[in-house]
Each structure stands twice: as C-alpha cells, then as structure tokens.
Amino acid sequence: MGPLAGVRVVEFAGLGPGPFCGMLLADLGADVVRIDRRGARGGLLGSLGATSLLDRGKRSIALDLKDPADVDVVRALVRRADVLLEGFRPGVMERLGLGPDELLGENPALVYGRMTGWGQTGPLAHSAGHDIGYIALTGVLGASGRPDERPAPPLNLLGDFGGGGVFLALGALAALIRARATGEGQVVDAAIVDGTAVLTTMIHGMLGAGAWTDERGRNLLDTGAPFYDVYRCADGQFLAVGALEEQFYAALLEGLGLSGDESLPDRNDPRQWPALRERFTDAFAARTRAEWWQVFEGTDACVAPVWSLLEATEDRHNTERGVFVEVDGVRQPAVAPRFSVTPGAVGSVPAPGQHDEEILAELGLR
C-alpha cells in the first residue's frame, strides 16, 4: 500500500524531526525499520510520558550499538536499504563505524539522511539545541507575536517538523529518485536552520521589496493588519480572521453588519489599522464563538473558529473529510497528502524490539 511500497528505510530512533520524517515515509508505504536501543523503555520518547505516534507504521528492532555483533546487524540492514535516517550529532555515526564513507562503500546507492538542528558544518554544528533555538537563529521566532509582547514560539512545529522532518523527507526522496536512475547514493544534510530559513523565503522577498518591516506584529500577515488577526468573542473564545482580498473583506463586513458604514476606518491605510481593529474588537465581542460561526461558516469572509486540539478532531469539516482517524484507540491525524491510486495508511506503533525475530530472519541471521 502507498506510493512508497517497496522502499526500505532504516531509521535510528531519536526525538522529533527524524522520527517524523520516518513517519511520513511509513505513512506512504515505505518499510521503515526503527533501530531502538536495547533495554529502552517505551522508545526514546518514553521520557515524554507517552508512546510516540511518530513511530506509527514502523517495525522495531532493539540493538546495542556498542556490541560489534549488533553493529553487524545494522550493516546487514543497511546493505539492503534504500534510505538511512539518523539524527545524532556530527561525528557520532562515524565513531560507531557507521558513517557515510563506510556504509556507502557497502551500498553505493544508499541515501544517507542526516537530521540535525545546526547542520553538519558551522560553528554551532556540535552544540546542543532545540526547536526554539533554531527558529530564534533564523529570525522566525523574532517575527512571531505581537509588538508589545515576547515572541511566541508556535509549539515545535515550524522548526522540528516544518523546517526539519519535512525537508529531510523531501531530500531523501529527491536523492532516492536520482539513486534509482544512476545507482549513485549520497548524503542528505538536513539542518533545521536551513529548512526553517527556506520557509521564510516569501517574507524575505517582501522585506526586500519594502512590503514588510523588520518588526513583528506590524505587517500584513503577523497580526499587524486588523483584517488578519484573532478576536475574542463574548464567551472568551476566539475567531481567526484572514480577509485579505477585497471581496473577502466585503464578506467580512457583511457578516459583521458593517457593510456601507462610512465611518469605518480605511483598511488600505496602515495608520488607521488601530482604529479599525477597535471596531472589529467591539463587534466580535458582542456574540459567542458559536454564534459567529453560524454567521460565517461556508462564506468567503475567511473567518474560522479557533479550536483547541481536541475540538479540532470534532469539527464538521475535519470529520467529513477524515482529517483525523482513530487507530488502536488513539485519535490522530490521517495520512497526508492523499493519492488517488496508491493511498497511504496509518499503522500501529511498535514496541521497542517487537520485530527482532522477524527482521533477523529476513536478514538470514536466524
């Protein structure tokens, strides 16, 4: 099942973006074998208090990478693999004898995917880090939030997953296409700082054109514009407004009962944005979120309720489209994107070492 059926991936267990990349590939049909540390409880994410859904659809073998016999098992796995994914600091895999030179020497068509925060090179390459630091260094955190408040990190979605795991998956698949055409593998150096910076390409273009100021909360898409912002309703809940285009703005005013109000400040004059925001704030505060959603649902006003994570799983659109599914009693996001001929599927989360015997038998070691 899935467009990646037949693709073999070896993933070294880790945190966040690397496993997310492996999940994306497994969702789309790749056979992803996760190498867990022997004796680990609940996988490496067990310390976070829950089995990680990032490991769904994978198989697990538990090995001790300090044991030469287990390192030989890794080599056997890699010799028949298309893609390897690892997220250690630079130099760790080389010290284990599992660096790119060694493994590409045994499997010349191997795609060797490396996931780090800072990259394989640069003054911070060997430093510890987390999402919040990566998005800080690339300017994304500094651009997020309102002008009179501290920058607000958007969970760990932009760095770890958007700038990290997705770009590693993209790089691995691009390299795999070339490897299958030429027989030549290569190293994919996926750094979160690199990917996160790429996500800001449009903003840098606007900045260079003078259409964006280097101050957060003052621009068209960062809550600076009153018609692209979040408003509190009468019940304390929130609505998101994104009425950028003129026709959508007109639909917003109609829903708010402000159409034809000549006293309304000019939306095309940033100097009048504060006054316009006050009008919108007062208007939205007059009704509850549910009442406003009855007004705007299905219109072109580009207004949406701000759901909590759990509320989002019960939203009518998300439910009818199947944005979330339940697997093994756990509600979770479905596979994306969708394919008309070879759809992907959400698999179960394996326990560490669950497939030891099965995988060793496939390698002829049992």
**Residue located via tokens 């704030």:** 281
Given a contact cutoff of 8 angstroms between Cβ atoms, the answer to whether 164 and 54 are in contact is: no
Active site annotation includes 130: yes
| Residue in 130, 189, 300, 315 annotated catalytic | 130
Element housing 27 (H / E): helix 17-27
Q: Long-range pairs for 120-125 at CB < 8 Å and ≥24 separation?
A: 120/90, 120/189, 120/191, 121/90, 125/89, 125/90
β-bridge partners, 116: 191
C-alpha of 344 from chain center: 18
Amino acid identity at 177 = I
Helix axes 17-27, 166-182, angle to 10 degrees: 60
Closest Cα to residue 349, out of 17, 81, 36, 39? 36
| Residue in 82, 131, 160, 222 annotated catalytic | 160
**For the residues of 86-142, what is the DSSP string, one character each?**
E-PPTTHHHHTT-SHHHHHHH-TT-EEEEEESS-SSSTTTTS---HHHHHHHTTTGG
Amino acid identity at 148 = D
**Residue located via tokens 């599914």:** 325
**For the residues of 64-83, what is the DSSP string, one character each?**
-TTSHHHHHHHHHHHHT-SE
The phi, psi pair for 127, rounded to 5°, reads: -90, 150
Task: Tell me whether residue 340 is exposed, middle or buried, using C-beta atoms within 10 angstroms of its C-beta: 0 to 12, 13 to 18, 19 or more.
Answer: exposed
Given a contact cutoff of 8 angstroms between Cβ atoms, the answer to whether 125 and 92 are in contact is: no
The phi, psi pair for 125, rounded to 5°, reads: -55, -35
Task: State the Cα–Cα distance between residues 24 and 169, nearest whole angstrom.
Answer: 7
Active site annotation includes 31: no
Task: State the Cα–Cα distance between residues 98 and 108, nearest whole angstrom.
Answer: 14
- Residues catalogued as catalytic: 130, 160
